[in-house]
Amino acid sequence: MKMQFNCQHPTLLDLIRACRLPVAGQIIQTTTEIPTEKHKHQRQFFIVDAKSRIPRREMLFFKPLFLLFLLLSPLCASRIPRREMFFKPLFLFFLLLSPLCASIDTITLNQQLKDGDSIVSKDRKFELGFFGPDNSSSSRYVGIWYANQPEKTVVWVANRDKPINDSSGVLAINRYGILVLSAAGNISIWSTDASVHVQTRSTFVAQLLDSGNLVVFQENKSESFIWQSFDYPTDTLLPGMKIGFNWKTGLEWKLTSWNSEKDPGTGDYSFRVVPNSTATPLIVVLKGSSKYWRSDPGPWPTFVSNDEEMSYYFVPNDSDSVARSVLRDYGLYQQLKWNDADDHWEEYWAAPKYRCDKYGHCGANSRSSPDNFNAFQCECLPGYEPKSVNDWNRRNGSDGCVSKRIGGLKCENGDGFVTLQRVKDPDASIEARLVRSMSAKECEQACLNNCSCTAYMSIEWEGRLDCMTWQDDLMDIVGRTELGRDLYVRVDKIELAKHTSKSKGFLRRRGALAIPIVSVLLALVLIIVFACWQQKRKSKTRARTDYAEVDELEEAKRHPESQYFSLSTIIAATDNFSPINKLGQGGFGIFYKKFQEKKINIRIILHRGCEIPNPQKKNSFAPDEVMRCIQVGLLCVEEETIHVSCCFYVEPRNISSISLVVLFDSSHACQLPGKLVHSNKQQKFIVDAKSQIPRRKMLFFKPLFLFFLLLMPFCTSIDTIALNQQLKDGDTLVSKDRKFELGFFSPDNSSSSTYVGIWYADQPQKTVVWVANRDTPVNDSSGVLAINRYGNLVLSAAGNILIWSTNVSVHVQTRSTFVAQLLDSGNLVLFQENKSESFIWQSFDYPTDTLLPGMKIGFNWKTGLELKLTSWISENNPGTGDYSFRIVSNSTATPLIVVFKGLSKYWRADPGVWPNFVSNDEEMYDYFTPRENGSVARAVLRDYGLFQQLKWSDADDQWEETFAAPKYRCDKYGQCGANSICSPDNVNLFECECLPGYEPKSVNNWNQRNGSDGCVSKRIGGLKCGNGDGFVTVQRVKDPDASIEAQLVKSMSDKECEQACLSNCSCTAYMSIGSEGRIDCMTWYDDLMDILVRTELGGDLYVRVDKIELGKHTSKSKVFLRRRGALVIPIVSVLVALVLIIVFACWRHKKKSKTKDYVEVDELEETRRHLELQYFDLSTILVATDNFSLVNKLGQGGFGTVYKNVVLPDCLRMTTNLFDLHSFLAKNQGFLAGALLHLDCSA
């Protein structure tokens, strides 16, 4: 609240200064000015700025007190004679009528706002004045900020790109009706640049409204603004402000970010509306002229489009809240509201905030899926493939995807559409068209008829269906979990068939998933029903017997000569009532002959086929395999016909060495002669005829076939190079069991560079696992690999130029003893012929980018050799790349397995104990073993730093990934810098979080979602420890990097470890580690690097904090326990309720059965009081009445039905227990309830 007083005498000013009432405010500044030429007397201005409103009741005290001071002081004594002091009471009268504290919110034509002055809106919501964003800077700006907040939040800046370098700034209205900001020397800094033709200059007023809008108008036309700040926003939207276009004036409303947090100059980012004449407009954040973020397509509830303007205006979610939206200097568009309880701004919406929010994150024709937790979020659209496979493998999808169609065709016959469910619409500003009021079927047909149409979407808009079609690349598609619309992407018939089968498979999988769920639920219901039925059945069984069994048993007793058989015996005796054993049929039923069991000798002949190799995939086989196949084939000849395929290989350099491979397949046809295939490496003759050969003609082919076998040696692979042998470009070595092959290769078929390498021999694609001359290729086909006279393997080119060698030597008497051999493990070894188990040199000691089973990485302490992987330079260049996979030894703590990029750590494996790790006096290494024994597996370091473990899938003829790192965001070393923790489970959110007791080193970078600078300690003065220090637990994390000032102490308890860290002022954290059945203590003494949250694995890290931080986390943990306790209560309540319901149901059922038993007991007791009556059980009565046979029924009366006794001799006893029988029947035989049984003895 502000008051402005004007007096020509300093007495009043001094009086007001001396007053300084706490509720009335404080004097901010005094200024002087010469108002007019007529009055050149100096005037004093002072402004009272009250920070609180004075209640009405308190004004009764302060107003008279203020008037008392006025009465006691001479009022303007130098100007008014003493006799004219009658004005004093009149002045006091006006003071009584006027409010004490009235804010000034206007600047009139003859007024100036100087640096230090300010105007405040009517209800004290906003304030305008001079400010400096950085207190250490002399740059001054005119701006608007919230007036009643503890921190100055600037929402508008006038001279954002032209600061004033001193405090000489003045804001006023010039003679043309324009607001002008000028500095010393009347230099114009900024102006409104708007004028209106008026008769007098005195009618112009600038006013700061409670909306935060600074407006200029003519005094008599306050509702018609000549100029307003809302038309020229800076980085903030206030409620009611717009972005868009004014078609009448040509003005564009947009936000532009600050340069930085301390510099309000125009930054790189802008928030604006992009019009679109053929489709829907866009709301975007631009970085320069490039799209940085795009909002979800409309319709937007606050969007207006008509002949005068097209705009989006800001409306808070909560109409009563103080809210704003701001475009940050790093491109984040935020919507914030003020929290009075905490006195700070709260974010309730922001973008781009998640990985997939940034425009074109995955490039063209791809979809970004933010719900792919940590994994690569990019996926090509149906019918498209990555434009750059190499970049795609590096988890960089910015190049996007291209069509799989051959020849650049855009459409073909049989085209269709594949549905992408719930996605954000592609960018409609790229060759898109909106057609209103068109059904989904019409939209599909319209797209199908247009060869350029790549996709379509049906959009529900204002109660109708509109059709959006795209005719070019599809950009910025994001998968939505709940929101979003279905996009229909055009594909060819091949791709359409693939996705049709996939959708069917999905339905089958979903059905398969439903089956076990429904089965479990049904099983639970059946168990409950069965339990109740079983309980009920048991209670009934106590008083009932199977009367059918009683009949049979009683009948057997009456006829001892008869024998009783069970049903299973009868079924076996009659051969399951076979008609063959039927003898006849009479009044008693069907008669069967007893089946006589016989022992039948059955000879089961099993045909055990051998594993026959495929000659189309293998060039040669071991002799034992060929002999086994030949034997099977000759046996097959004895049958009718056979299917024969014969392959003959003739090596050009040794024409006498001919290898034969024969494949026999049991069938009824033999296929003979065929075609001749030529190549520069070998001649292949394939016999493959389609004719069928009868059995009699095989008498000719069988001797002919045996003749070839006698003349030709069996095929054997050559896996060695002797001293006098050479391996030339075009020749190869193959290991004994044909697993690996060595020879010359070119990774890029279009290149003339050749290398000597090892690859898998029996795979359709050449997978190179080792390269000899990786950095010195042979530029032609003149390469020769041989053993030289010093016992080294040497690769030379034309002119005997040395390219590569093993560079080892051994003192021997003769050179002929050296042999190089390619083993089935993929290891190329060099040894003396009589010492084949002692290798002079082996390729496993010099790995390139691949680990095979049994290969090592680490150190050989005896030879000083380091075994490590180094990546290729690129996919087509096997030269030594930037990445290496190696072990880092550590004398004070545990060793590390890391991937380096140059000399910097790129990824760090989880700390050991590793199952394949060996450390002793001779060596320290970790060796590679497949995850599945018996599988073909390898580990490879890619040229982009990815370490993969792969296994071969015979079913798909391709490599499958079993492990890869770094694969996720937090896998990369130091992703969040020092003293921070990376949480990969923070789906899409910023994954970095400072450790307890630490804060971001660079708040600006942290706000930009860049945590690489890490965090620093909150301790003041650089102290490392203090009294009252303690530890806060960070649960389930990957151990910090132990190569940075860490120490491992073996066999130390948790308590001892904590005390050891607490007693050392440099100790920043500790961890107790279970190792080999004992507890070890790891402590850190510097920054904590590369900490990663584990959902399940990981150990607990104890971070050292001061007593203040310790108190905070202690209270948090208590709150957490209270919350968890509150959560436990409803869970336990539900469980207890279920148990009580079950117990009550069982008790109720048991009570009912007992009640019935009590009634029965009462009836039995009643009968016992009548000794002439006797009680019989139901089984006896059933026998006596022949199971209540109607033949034995005598009659029926008021007491029930009367039956004749057909068995029991004692009639009297049988008729004595009628009432007990009735009660029993009433209990167990509902259909006979009320029927009283009388047994007649007359028979």
Please tell me whether residues 1087 and 1155 are part of one structural domain. no
Q: Which domain holds residue 432?
A: 363-491
Report CA-CA distances (Å) from 831 to 569, 826, 947: 76, 16, 32
Please tell me whether residues 278 and 385 are part of one structural domain. no
Q: What is the pLDDT of residue 118?
A: 92
User: Exposure pattern of 512-540 as b/e (b: 16+ CB <10 Å)?
Assistant: eeeeeeeeeeeeeeeeeeeeeeeeeeebe
Structure tokens at 779: 């530029």
Convert the pLDDT of each residue in 890-915 to its tens digit.
Answer: 878 888 899 999 999 999 988 877 77
User: Exposure pattern of 703-721 as b/e (b: 16+ CB <10 Å)?
Assistant: eebeeeeeeeebbebbbeb
Structure tokens at 392: 């795609």
Residue 862 resides in a domain? no
Please tell me whether residues 1084 and 1205 are part of one structural domain. no
Place of tokens 């059965």: 1153
Residue 1130 resides in a domain? no
- Overall average pLDDT of the 1108-1119 stretch: 72
- Overall average pLDDT of the 766-777 stretch: 94
Q: Mark which of 1088, 1105, 1122 sits at the end of a domain.
A: 1105
Q: Choose among 737, 940, 753: nearest CA to 847.
A: 940
Q: Rank 35-39, 68-72, 509-513, 1082-1086 by mean pLDDT and report only the highest.
A: 1082-1086
User: From the DSSP assignment, how many helices (H) and strands (E) are in the chain?
Assistant: 16, 80
Q: What is the pLDDT of residue 870?
A: 96
Structure tokens at 1169: 């009081």
Q: CA–CA separation, 32 vs 41, rounded Å?
A: 10
pLDDT at 856 over 90: yes
Q: What is the pLDDT of residue 814?
A: 52
Angle at 1075 between CA 1074 and CA 1077, to 5 degrees: 90
Q: 1037 with 1093: CB under 8 angstroms?
A: yes
Residue 320 resides in a domain? yes
Convert the pLDDT of each residue in 1012-1038 to its tens digit.
Answer: 899 999 888 777 788 889 999 998 899
pLDDT at 511 over 50: yes
Q: What is the pLDDT of residue 664?
A: 36
Convert the pLDDT of each residue in 396-435 to its tens digit.
Answer: 888 999 998 877 777 888 899 999 988 999 998 888 999 9
Q: Tell me if the bond preceding 299 is cis, omega within 30° of 0.
A: yes
Structure tokens at 679: 């190549």
pLDDT band at 1009 (very low <50, low <70, confident <90, very high): confident
Q: What is the pLDDT of residue 604?
A: 27
Identify which has the larger pLDDT, 677 or 366: 366
Outline where DSSP puts E strands in 1076-1179: 1078-1084, 1091-1093, 1099-1105
Please tell me whether residues 1081 and 995 are part of one structural domain. yes
User: Exposure pattern of 1007-1024 as b/e (b: 16+ CB <10 Å)?
Assistant: bebbbbbbbbbebeeeee
pLDDT band at 702 (very low <50, low <70, confident <90, very high): low
Q: What is the pLDDT of residue 1014?
A: 94
pLDDT at 1113 over 90: no
Helix (H, G, I), strand (E, B) or coil at 199: coil
pLDDT at 253 over 90: yes
pLDDT at 378 over 60: yes
Please list, in sequence order, all residues whose beta carbon lies within 8 angstroms of the beta carbon of residue 1067, skipping any fewer than 6 positions away.
1060, 1061, 1083, 1084, 1085, 1104
Residue 291 resides in a domain? yes
The number of CA neighbours under 13 Å toward the Cβ of 10 is 5
Residue 21 resides in a domain? no
Q: CA–CA separation, 888 vs 909, rounded Å?
A: 11
pLDDT band at 1167 (very low <50, low <70, confident <90, very high): low
Q: What is the pLDDT of residue 935?
A: 85
Please tell me whether residues 1079 and 992 are part of one structural domain. yes
Helix (H, G, I), strand (E, B) or coil at 713: coil
Q: What is the pLDDT of residue 864?
A: 86
pLDDT band at 320 (very low <50, low <70, confident <90, very high): confident
Please tell me whether residues 348 and 384 are part of one structural domain. no
| Least confident among 3-7, 750-754, 787-791, 1133-1137 | 3-7
Q: What is the pLDDT of residue 1157?
A: 56
Please tell me whether residues 449 and 480 are part of one structural domain. yes
Please tell me whether residues 265 and 344 are part of one structural domain. yes
Residue 338 CB: number of other CB atoms within 10 A?
A: 17
| Least confident among 55-64, 452-461, 520-529, 919-928 | 55-64
| Least confident among 170-174, 469-473, 514-518, 745-749 | 514-518
pLDDT at 590 over 80: no
pLDDT at 181 over 90: yes
Please list, in sequence order, all residues whose beta carbon lies within 8 angstroms of the beta carbon of residue 88, skipping any fewer than 6 positions away.
71, 75
- Overall average pLDDT of the 602-619 stretch: 35
Q: CA–CA separation, 727 vs 749, rounded Å?
A: 21
Q: 1078 with 1050: CB under 8 angstroms?
A: yes
Q: Mark which of 320, 353, 386 sits at the end of a domain.
A: 353
Q: CA–CA separation, 1001 vs 989, rounded Å?
A: 20
| Least confident among 425-434, 541-550, 1102-1111, 1113-1122 | 541-550
Q: Rank 33-42, 297-306, 535-544, 996-1005 by mean pLDDT and report only the highest.
A: 996-1005
Q: What is the pLDDT of residue 23?
A: 34
Q: What is the pLDDT of residue 713?
A: 40
Helix (H, G, I), strand (E, B) or coil at 884: strand
Q: What is the pLDDT of residue 542?
A: 56
pLDDT at 501 over 70: no
Q: What is the pLDDT of residue 180?
A: 92
pLDDT at 588 over 90: no
Residue 461 resides in a domain? yes
Angle at 1010 between CA 1007 and CA 1012, to 5 degrees: 135
Q: Rank 99-113, 363-377, 962-976 by mean pLDDT and report only the highest.
A: 962-976
Residue 914 CB: number of other CB atoms within 10 A?
A: 13
Q: Rank 100-109, 175-184, 563-572, 1177-1186 by mean pLDDT and report only the highest.
A: 175-184
The percent of residues in the chain predicted with pLDDT above 70, rounded, is 68
pLDDT band at 1234 (very low <50, low <70, confident <90, very high): very low
Q: CA–CA separation, 778 vs 770, rounded Å?
A: 16
Please tell me whether residues 1153 and 1096 are part of one structural domain. no
pLDDT band at 508 (very low <50, low <70, confident <90, very high): low
Tell me whether strands 856-860 and 865-867 are parallel, antiparallel or unpaired.
antiparallel
DSSP 8-class letter at 520: H
Q: Roughly how many angstroms between the first and final C-alpha of the chain, as a whole number?
A: 122
- Overall average pLDDT of the 466-495 stretch: 89
pLDDT at 169 over 80: yes
pLDDT at 1097 over 50: yes
Residue 125 resides in a domain? no
**Alpha helices (H) along 656-695:** none
pLDDT at 579 over 80: no
Q: Mark which of 353, 380, 406 sits at the end of a domain.
A: 353
Please tell me whether residues 1042 and 1072 are part of one structural domain. yes
Report the interhelical angle of 493-541 vs 1107-1168 (nearest 10°). Answer: 40
| Least confident among 613-622, 674-683, 709-718, 1131-1140 | 674-683
Number of domains in the chain: 6
Convert the pLDDT of each residue in 262-286 to its tens digit.
Answer: 899 999 999 999 888 788 888 999 9
Please tell me whether residues 585 and 628 are part of one structural domain. no
pLDDT band at 1123 (very low <50, low <70, confident <90, very high): low
Q: What are the residues facing 1202 on neighbouring strands? A: 1195, 1238
Which sign, positive or negative, has the C-alpha torsion 221, 224, 229, 232? Answer: negative
Mean pLDDT of the chain: 75
Please tell me whether residues 1024 and 1073 are part of one structural domain. yes
Outline where DSSP puts E strands in 670-824: 675-678, 683-687, 720-721, 726-728, 732-734, 740-745, 755-760, 768-771, 784-787, 793-797, 801-805, 818-822
Report CA-CA distances (Å) from 1102 to 118, 290, 649, 1036, 1062: 53, 46, 69, 11, 11
Q: CA–CA separation, 517 vs 522, rounded Å?
A: 9
Q: 325 with 316: CB under 8 angstroms?
A: no
Residue 660 resides in a domain? yes
